[in-house]
C-alpha cells in the first residue's frame, strides 16, 4: 500500500558495542529514534549525536568511536508515514484506526438504542452523577442518556478505556429500590 510507505525512515543507535555504564545510555537517551534517508546518513547522525550530545567518544573496548564502528539499526515501528496530511508513526496510525473503530461502535450503539440510558465507565470506575467524580459501584453511578454518554466517550484516548454501558432498566430499578430498602433499615 503506497500510503504505508515511509516518508522518513526511523533508526536507533545499536548500543551493542558501547559502554552501557555511560550515563546517557543508562538514562535511556540513546534509545530515542532518529530519522535518516539511509543507513549511511543514519550512521553520520548517530556518530554526531553520540559524540556531541552524549559525550561518548569510545566503544566498550575504548577504541575511538568512528563512522565505521558506530552501529545503527532500523526501527520501522517509528517510521514517519504521510497519512491524511500529517506525518504519523505506524503505532499512531494503528491507534488512530483503533480509536475510529471504537468510536464507530459507540455511534452504532447510539443509533441502535436512541432512547436508552447509560452509565459512563472509565477504566474500572463509573462516572458519578453530573460527571462529578468516580465510583466503583453501579448503584452510585450517574445515569445519562445514551447520547450524553457517547458524546463524553468519543475521541477519548484508548488508554482511558472509557465507554458507555447500556442500562437494563428493570435490573437498575431493582438495584436502586434494594438500596433504598437497605438504607431505610438504618433510619433512627
Answer whether 83's CB lies under 8 Å from 73's CB: no
First CA to last CA distance, the chain: 72
- Report the mean per-residue pLDDT for the chain: 88
147, 110 Cβ separation under 8 angstroms: yes
Mean pLDDT lowest among 20-29, 67-76, 81-90, 168-177: 20-29
Q: How confident is the model at residue 135 (pLDDT cuts 50, 70, 90)?
A: very high
Mean pLDDT of 130-138: 95
Find the mean pLDDT for residues 49-53: 83
> Cβ-count burial of 87 within 10 angstroms (0-12 exposed, 13-18 middle, 19+ buried)?
middle
What per-residue confidence (pLDDT) applies to 3?
54
pTM of structure: 0.69
What crossing angle do the helices spanning 90-112 and 146-153 adopt, rounded to 10°? Answer: 180
pLDDT at 37 over 50: yes
Amino acid at each position: 500500500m503506497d500510503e504505508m510507505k515511509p516518508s522518513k525512515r526511523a533508526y536507533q543507535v545499536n548500543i551493542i558495542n558501547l559502554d552501557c555504564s555511560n550515563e546517557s545510555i543508562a538514562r535511556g537517551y540513546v534509545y530515542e529514534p532518529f530519522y535518516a534517508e539511509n543507513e549511511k546518513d543514519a550512521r553520520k547522525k548517530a556518530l554526531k549525536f553520540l559524540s556531541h550530545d552524549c559525550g561518548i567518544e569510545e566503544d566498550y573496548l575504548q577504541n575511538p568511536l568512528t563512522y565505521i564502528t558506530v552501529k545503527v539499526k532500523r526501527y520501522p515501528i517509528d517510521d514517519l508515514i504521510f497519512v491524511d496530511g500529517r506525518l504519523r508513526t505506524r503505532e499512531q496510525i494503528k491507534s488512530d484506526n483503533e480509536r475510529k473503530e471504537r468510536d464507530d461502535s459507540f455511534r452504532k450503539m447510539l443509533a441502535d438504542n436512541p432512547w436508552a440510558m447509560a452509565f459512563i465507565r472509565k477504566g474500572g470506575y463509573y462516572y458519578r452523577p453530573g460527571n462529578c467524580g468516580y465510583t466503583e459501584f453501579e448503584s452510585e453511578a450517574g445515569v445519562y442518556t445514551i447520547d450524553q454518554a457517547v458524546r463524553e466517550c468519543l475521541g477519548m484516548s484508548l488508554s482511558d478505556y472509557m465507554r458507555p454501558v447500556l442500562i437494563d432498566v428493570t435490573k437498575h430499578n431493582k438495584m436502586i429500590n434494594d438500596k433504598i430498602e437497605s438504607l431505610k433499615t438504618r433510619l433512627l
